[in-house]
Amino acid sequence: MTQVYDHIEQTRHLLSQIFESGLASARNVSAALGDCGKIAEELGMSGGAELLGALDAALRALAAGQGETGSAALAYCYALSYYNIVADMLIVETMAVKQ
């Protein structure tokens, strides 16, 4: 469970860096998103891996001038929402087990 939580925190940190730098300027994050996606798959979080892949594709399209900012923003929101919800569920599950 610690590995899952660590992965969630690392991914949320990466997502916050993407947001802070601006979606249009987040060009060099493809490798980091790919790594996070691989770890998500290994941890059984295939939904997170798919959303990170979609975000990567949207950011690459945006960087190539072929995508729209709205599509990248939506992919970002989906990925962030997924990881926030999974983190909340993990916290609730941990609290329930400890009681």
Longest Cα separation, the chain: 52
Summarised one tens digit per residue, pLDDT across range 4-15 is 999 999 999 999
Q: Coil, strand, or helix at residue 42? A: helix
Contacts of 46 (CB under 8 A, 6+ apart): 40
pLDDT (0 to 100) of residue 98:
64
**In which residue are the tokens 């001038």 written?**
65
Summarised one tens digit per residue, pLDDT across range 4-44 is 999 999 999 999 999 888 876 766 788 999 999 999 999 99
Tell me the pTM: 0.89
Percent of the chain with pLDDT over 90: 66
Mean of all residue pLDDT scores within the chain: 90
**In which residue are the tokens 């949320």 written?**
12
Whether the predicted pLDDT of 87 surpasses 70: yes
Q: How far is CA 12 from CA 63, 90, 99, in A?
A: 22, 15, 28
